[in-house]
Amino acid sequence: MKTSQTEILGDLYNLLLNPATRDWERAQLRVAKTAIDDGAHFDDQIAKLEALLRPLALRDNLTPDVTDFYLKITDDPLAGSSFDLSIHYEQDGPHQARAIFAGGCFWCMVEPFETRPGIISVISGYTGGHMENPTYEQVVGGYTGHVEAVEIIFDTQIWSYKELVELYWQLTDPTDAFGQMADRGDSYRPVIFVANEEQHQIAEQSKRDLAESGRYKHPIVTAIEPATTFWPAENFHQQFYQKNPRRYKKLKRSRQQFLAFQRMQTKWRRGWKIWGKD
């Protein structure tokens, strides 16, 4: 269904006020809105605006909310399907529980969990900081103390919390306290956020087991912290692997290659130890 003029004008107004909108983006949006308010042809102005935004949109270089707006004015089917966050605000039903993990950019943390049976929902968001309703720009700018994380709602009849923690270890580098792979900075540090004492004990024991396994040459530095408010991220970031499959595949491949090389180093190290004993 095509978006109405009233809705697009409302979006333009909100984006002009949005602190996350870049100055260049705001300038283009303001020109379009001013022209429409002065009586210029609506479709012509939106077409001009689309043409100006297109180069950055094709390079995935617009800010998240402007990206959603671009998808809307180009009548992209993804624009009409805002991510349903209602389950995040609901109480967990029978046989449901939540796990919150931070492991670098949340774009790469959704698909490995969401595509498995028994995972009810995976939401990208921000947690562990000191500001309410943080935006993506504020978080990556290091202004809020938050990390990018995923909230996983799972069926406890199919998954145990321990199994989720074990899967989490396979997706991250637990020896890197300053980010993950190419994602550097405090907002990308690896953290397991525990909701209660049971989760805390499971996570701590799993971390000890990993440290004693000999899989890593360096210490396990992934933090285990109490869960605080989890703020869902903007719609653009939800299910990124579905919205931007080509870009996601490149990110996933790079991440997998790094982790595979790390595992290969472990095998070499163990092999040398065995050889040295002979």
Tokens encoding 82: 């805002």
- Is 105 a catalytic site residue? yes
Residues 6 or more apart in contact with residue 244 via CB below 8 angstroms: 60
From the candidates 102, 105, 139, 147, give the one annotated as an active-site residue. 105
CA R_g for the chain: 22
What gap in Å lies between CA 159 and CA 55, rounded to an integer?
A: 44
Evaluate whether 136 touches 233 at the Cβ level (below 8 Å). yes
CA distances from 119 to 55, 159, 166, 179, 261 (A): 37, 8, 15, 26, 29
Torsion of CA 243, 117, 253, 180, to 10 degrees: 90
Task: Please give the positions annotated as active site.
Answer: 105
